[in-house]
Structure 1
């Protein structure tokens, strides 16, 4: 395995961790007690981008 593949796997792993964090953050925001305390971070968009980066990284690493 060369350096390019290792970087792609590292990027895919980081995107997977970002996806997991964003899922937990979105769940926390959904279950908040005070409905007036909304956040400003678009966690759904973060999830989408993280999944796309992860899939792209894995696909390129396997190629």
Structure 2
């Protein structure tokens, strides 16, 4: 596993953590009790793009880790 593969694995883990955070915040926003407090963060697109980045980065680093 090269240095670049380690960087991709770390970046993929960070993107996965961001996806989990965005997913939790989106669920919290959807279940709010006061419907007038909508917030300003677009949690759904943040979740989508961070999940896509995590899948790609972890897939590429996992491929290098397995030696395929």
TM-score when scaled to structure 1? 0.91
Counterpart position of 1:43: 43
Q: Distance in 2 between matches of 1:50 and 1:28?
A: 18
Unaligned 5+ runs, structure 1: none
* 1:59 Cα deviation after fit: 2.7
Runs of 4+ in 1 over 2 A off after TM superposition: none
Counterpart position of 1:52: 52
Deviations 1:13-50 (A, max 9, x none): 00110010001100111111100000111101001101
* 1:60 Cα deviation after fit: 2.2
Kindly indicate whether the alpha-carbon contact (under 8 Å) linking 2:13 and 2:58 is maintained by their aligned counterparts in 1.
no
* 1:52 Cα deviation after fit: 1.1
TM-score when scaled to structure 2? 0.85
Q: Distance in 2 between matches of 1:46 and 1:5?
A: 24
RMSD of the TM alignment (CA)? Answer: 1.0
Q: Which deviates more from structure 2 when the two are superposed, residues 7-16 or residues 49-58?
A: 49-58
Kindly indicate whether the alpha-carbon contact (under 8 Å) linking 2:9 and 2:58 is maintained by their aligned counterparts in 1.
yes
